[in-house]
Amino acid sequence: MEFEAVVGMEVHVEINSKSKVFCGCSGNFHAAPNTNVCPVCLGMPGVLPVLNVDMVNKSVAVGLALNCTISRWSKLDRKNYFYPDMAKNYQISQYDLPLCQNGWIDIEVDGQTKRIGITRAHIEEDTARNTHTIGGNQSGVDFNRSGLPLLEIVTEPDIRSAKEALAYLTALKQMLQYLDVSDCNMEEGSLRAEANISVRPVGQEKFGTKTEVKNVASFSGVHKAIEFEIARHIKLINSGGKVVQETRGWDADRGITVPQRLKESAHDYRYFPEPDLVPIVVDEAWEQRIRESLPELPAARRSRMGTQYGLSAYDANVITLSQDTANYYEQVVAAGADAKKAANWLMVELQSLLSAAKQDIRDCRVSPADLAALVGLIESGAINGKMGKDVIAEMFETGKATQDIVNEQGLSQITDTGEIEAIIRQVLADNPAQVEQFRSGKDKVFGFLVGQVMRATQGKANPALLNDLLRRELSRQEN
């Protein structure tokens, strides 16, 4: 029997507000343990939450970017469960009336576009973190993260493979970064993904029994965990077994999912409206203000830049992957560089330098104007491509201007026709055997002769000009 997977994703995103969602503590969770805490985020007796308006603004922005309907009226609820990470033993969240509902995002898989439905996005608060590095049979709890603003984004069960799940996460992360609402650092937990996975025979309407996979700390982990879980389900069913509805954790070290032991009552969350907070009413005017403040979103930018700069779909995709790269590119072109060549230099040379140095393009010492100047010098023939690579490496290292490096190193190409012709004549005279071979039809020898001329000029001869002149000289001598 052939099976298809049915996957829905729940993603928790820590929103990058300066302060926490219900109190004024700093949102910087890197501080020393329990130093960004106050009575509110410690759940002290008598405290009350007050909602951070920045969280509402950013959540609505995400909702709009994900094509959601923004609820005119929504409320917060208490979700009750006990855990040492929970300051109040209830989490303030949104239950039946989330802020954003019924949206979608397009993802790209194997060159095909697919639309993934977004069920909802809602406001909640993050929990504390515990550490097991404390000695003995004990854990330590740090409440710095308690009360950080958290947006939970839930998809429809529209995802059909691990690959699609990965594409969804990539598209979502790109969107969130374009909106500048989160640093989306999965390793640090500011973006966390859970997947609901089931399989069913192809053609069957009804969903199979699902399992929920948690504890995944990287994009590749999500991919592997979903792949593992799909295979596990299929194998179970094929061997006559049954999938048990349960929560499973991803064990990255062993590359498997393992069941998480939970009490029967663990899902009886006893939601009820949070009496300490009043409803959120986002009227049309407020929604419109946020809509107007949205940046150009990835899909729009991709398609605009493709058309405007004549980029291939692939190039447009790569360049718009991050907003910073796209901005950088547009600045290079604005500084006068040829659009196509600028794309190549950015995507190949600069990108490999950045990757090797593990550097962000925002911190790059090669300014867009310098890269544009470099592309210009190559195009004019003032330096050749190989020199260009040396120059960009030098710029990357030192931050010096393009022309300064070219001048300092005497890298300018020989473009003087007479000078090159003289050298060609000398080379031909020194290599009569190769000249003979060329004439008898061995075209490959041409390359050898080019190399000899290049060596004689220490690589400074303009390659196109050299090719031209060498052919002309060879045919002239023949006649």
Query: Which spans of this chain sit near Zn ion (rule: CB under 5 A)?
Result: 23, 25, 38, 40-41
Kindly state whether residue 80 participates in binding other proteins, applying the rule CB under 8 A. yes
Toward other proteins, which CB reaches closer, 53 or 300? 53
What is the smallest separation between the CB atom of 266 and other proteins, expressed in angstroms?
A: 5
Partner from other proteins, Zn ion, none binding residue 189, C-beta < 5-8 Å depending on class: none
Verify binding: residue 256, other proteins, rule CB under 8 A. Answer: no
Find which of other proteins, Zn ion, none residue 134 binds, CB within 5 to 8 Å per kind: other proteins
d(CA 8, CA 96): 19
Determine the Cα–Cα distance for residues 169 and 173; give it in Å rounded to an integer: 6
Residue 30 beta carbon to other proteins: minimum distance, rounded to whole angstroms: 14
Query: Rule CB under 8 A: is residue 173 a binding residue for other proteins?
Result: no
Query: In the range 414-433, which residues lie near other proteins by CB under 8 A?
Result: none
Which residue, 73 or 314, is less far from other proteins as judged by CB? 73
Residue 9 contacts residue 240 (beta carbons within 8 Å): no
Task: Build a one-symbol-per-residue string for 105-134: x at contacts with other proteins by CB under 8 A, - elsewhere.
Answer: -------------------------xxx-x
| Binder of other proteins out of 87, 167, 216, 222 (CB under 8 A) | 87
Angle between helix axes 385-398 and 368-380 (nearest 10 degrees) is 160
CB neighbour list of residue 335: distance below 8 Å, 6 or more residues apart: 368, 369, 371, 372, 373
Residue 54 or 106: which CB sits closer to other proteins? Answer: 54
Structure tokens at 66: 């994900």
Question: Cα separations (Å) of 288 from 156, 295, 340, 379?
Answer: 26, 14, 37, 46
Q: Is 56 in the site for other proteins (CB under 8 A)?
A: yes
Q: At what angle do helices 417-430 and 432-439 cross, to 10 degrees?
A: 90
Record the tokens describing residue 91, joined without a space: 């989490």
Backbone angles phi, psi at 256, to 5 degrees: -135, 165
Take residue 343 and report the two structure tokens written for it: 């794309």
The site partner of 261 among other proteins, Zn ion, none (C-beta below 5 to 8 Å per kind) is other proteins
CA atoms of 327 and 55, how far apart (whole Å): 26
25/411 with CB nearer Zn ion = 25
Contacts with other proteins: how many residues (CB under 8 A)? Answer: 74
- Kindly state the smallest distance separating residue 92's Cβ from other proteins, in Å: 10
Task: Check binding of 82 to other proteins (CB under 8 A).
Answer: yes
**Residue 138 binds: one of Zn ion, other proteins, none (C-beta under 5 to 8 A by kind):** other proteins
Between 214 and 389, CB nearer to other proteins: 214
Q: According to the binding rule CB under 8 A, does residue 54 interact with other proteins?
A: yes
CB neighbours of residue 79 within 10 Å:
18
∠267-273-274 over CA atoms, to 5°?
100
Q: Provide, rounded to whole angstroms, the least separation between the CB of residue 200 and other proteins.
A: 27
Among 212, 175, 169, CA closest to 191: 169
User: Quick one: which of 279, 310, 336, 385 contacts other proteins (CB under 8 A)?
Assistant: 279
Buried-state track 401-437, b at ≥16 Cβ within 10 A, e below 16: bbeebbeeeebebbeeeeebeebbeebbeebeebbeb
Question: Contact 371/399 with Cβ under 8 angstroms?
Answer: no
* Three-state secondary-structure class, residue 209: coil
Q: Report the residue number, 97 or 109, with the smaller CB distance to other proteins.
A: 97
User: What are the residues facing 195 on neighbouring strands?
Assistant: 9, 213
Q: Contact with other proteins (CB under 8 A): which of 280, 290, 316, 354? A: 280
Q: Which one, of 319, 370, 380, lies nearest residue 344 by Cα?
A: 319
> Contact region for other proteins (CB under 8 A) — 88-96, 305-313, 349-357, 413-421?
88-96
What gap in Å lies between CA 417 and CA 70, rounded to an integer?
Answer: 68
- Closest contact distance (angstroms) between CB of 337 and other proteins is 39
* Shortest Å, Cβ 116 to Zn ion: 35
CB 27, min distance to other proteins, A: 8
Per CB under 8 A, 104 contacts other proteins: no
**Is residue 289 near other proteins by the rule CB under 8 A?**
no
Contact with other proteins (CB under 8 A) among 260, 317, 344, 457: 260
